[in-house]
Structure 1
Amino acid sequence: MLDDLDRRILRRMQFNPDQSIPDLADALGVTSSRLTRRLERLREAGILRGIRAVIDWRALGFEVEVSLRVTLDKTQTRAFDDFIEAARGIAEVIEIQTFLGRVDVRLSVIARDMPHYQQIYRDKILALPHIADIEALMHVARIKAEESLPL
C-alpha cells in the first residue's frame, strides 16, 4: 500500500507538518511536482487527511481535565444518537469516544479550575440525555500522548 517514499513523506510531515513543499521535496530528494503528486495521492486514499494546529489548552488557562465514563440507558432506542449529538454541543468536551462493554461513552472535559468544572458538570453534563450512570476520573498526568505513527 505505502512504498518507501510514502513512508518517508509521512514521517517527515509528522515531525514537521508546516514545512514548505520545496523544503520537504529537497529533504526527500525529489522534485516539488513529484512530492505534490504523492501528497495528492495520499489525500485521495484518505491516508493524509490534512494538517491541523495542535493547541495547548493549558496555555489558554484550562488547568483541569476530567475523563467521564458514561453508561447510557439502552432501553431508549436513540440513546447513543441523542447523547452524542448533545455532547458535541458542549464546547468544553474535547473528545468523545464510544465503547462496547459496561461503559458506553467516554468524554474528555476541560475546565479553567474546579469551580468551573463543577459548573460544567452540573449545568451541561448532567443535562445530557439518557445517562444511566456516570463516573468521573480526574486527570493527573499525561505520560504519553504520541500522535505520530511508527512508519
Structure 2
Amino acid sequence: MIPLDDLDRALIRALAADATQSAGALGRAHGLSQPACWRRIARLRAAGVFRGQRLDLDAQALGFGVTVFLGIKLATKGRVSLEDFERAVTSIPEVQTVEHVLGMYDYRLRVVARDISDFERVLRRRIMTLPGVGNVEANVLLSEERRPGPLG
C-alpha cells in the first residue's frame, strides 16, 4: 500500500469515471504538467492501485434484458471442492461475477440473460448441473443505481 495524497485521489476518481483520459488532459484538469501526471499514474499502476482497464458494457444494448443474483449453497462441500465448483461456474458465459461469501450461501452469482425464459434455460441446464449445487435462491434485478466507490 502506498500513501495517497489528495491529488492521487483526484486522479483515481477521474480515471474511474473515464479511463480513456490522457495524462495531458488529466494534468490540465488538476494543475499538473503532462509528464508529472503521467509519472503519478505510472506510480499508482506500479503499486497495483489499478487492476486494468475495462469497458463498461450496457447489457440491455447487447440484448441481455434480465439480471439475476443467485445465492448458491453447496450441498456437499466434502465431496466437491470449492475449486471444482468455481472452475465450472466461471466457464458459463452468462455468469458475470462469482463471489465466495460468508453467510446463508456459499456463493453469490450475477447472471445475465436475454429474458426470463433464457434465464430459466441457463439455470436448469448450466447452473443446476454444476458440481455440488444444493440450494439456490434467485433475486431478479429491478433497477440499479451506480454510486462512486470509497474514493468517489
Corresponding residue for 1:47? 49
Corresponding residue for 1:13? 15
Aligned equivalent of 1:80, options 79, 82, 85: 82
Corresponding residue for 1:71? 73
Whole-angstrom CA distance in 1 between matches of 2:9 and 2:16: 10
Aligned equivalent of 1:124, options 126, 145, 149: 126
Structure 1 or 2: larger helix share? 1
Most deviating of 109-118 and 12-21: 12-21
- What are the residue-to-residue correspondences of 1:25-40 with 2, within 5 Å? 25-40=27-42
Look up the SS of the partner of 1:57 in the other structure.
coil
1:147 to partner: Cα distance = 4.8
Whole-angstrom CA distance in 1 between matches of 2:14 and 2:67: 31
Whole-angstrom CA distance in 2 between matches of 1:60 and 1:136: 22
Computed over aligned residues only, the root mean square deviation of the Cα atoms, in angstroms, reads 1.6
1:44 to partner: Cα distance = 1.3
Please tell me whether residue 135 in structure 1 is matched to residue 150 in structure 2.
no
Contact 2:80–2:131 (CA<8 Å) still a contact in 1?
no
- Identical amino acids, percent of aligned pairs: 35
1:74 to partner: Cα distance = 4.3
1:140 to partner: Cα distance = 1.7
TM (norm. structure 1) is 0.90
CA-to-aligned-CA distance 1:53-98 (integer Å, 9 cap, x gap): 1001111111111111100134425431111110000000011111
Corresponding residue for 2:6? 4
Look up the SS of the partner of 1:146 in the other structure.
coil
